[in-house]
Amino acid sequence: MAKEIFVAKSDDLPDGERKIVPNGNSEIGVYRVRGRLFAYQNLCAHQGGPACEGLLMAKVEEVIAEDKTYQGMRFNHDEMHIVCPWHGWEYDLESGVMVADPTFRLRKYDVVEKEDGIYVLA
């Protein structure tokens, strides 16, 4: 049975913020983004970097016109990426899948929010 690890009181993890909690000899990064909670092991699938300690960035997209010409780039704030600070590997916040090569992913945990706070199930 999964153990519950206390993350924070609800007010201490406002929207757009992240909290990293210890879990044995590793950590778990817990995010609240647009009202939803996500939790991943703080361990990049590449060389083991602390992925959750990096930036949370919007996906970058190319703008290609109907005539197939390149028109520039833009941020897509509907798709956020967890970026490992060691090398820049990017993971989709919703799924934990590595965006450049889906054969890699972050280990995902379930998160629950109760009256007295937020818990991750590890």
Instruction: Note the maximum CA span of the chain.
Output: 55
Residues engaged in binding other proteins (CB under 8 A): 25-26, 42-43, 47-50, 53-58, 75, 77, 83, 85-88, 90, 101, 103
Decide: helix, strand or coil at residue 74.
strand
Compare residues 28 and 119 and give the one whose CB is closer to other proteins: 28
* Minimum distance of other proteins from residue 26's CB (angstroms): 8
Q: Can you tell me the distance from the alpha carbon of 83 to that of 64, in angstroms, rounded to the nearest whole number?
A: 25
* Minimum distance of other proteins from residue 85's CB (angstroms): 4
CB 27 within 8 A of CB 66: no
Q: Can you tell me the distance from the alpha carbon of 40 to that of 91, in angstroms, rounded to the nearest whole number?
A: 10
Compare residues 87 and 114 and give the one whose CB is closer to other proteins: 87
* Minimum distance of other proteins from residue 16's CB (angstroms): 8
* Minimum distance of other proteins from residue 71's CB (angstroms): 14
CB 18 within 8 A of CB 38: no
Compare residues 86 and 107 and give the one whose CB is closer to other proteins: 86
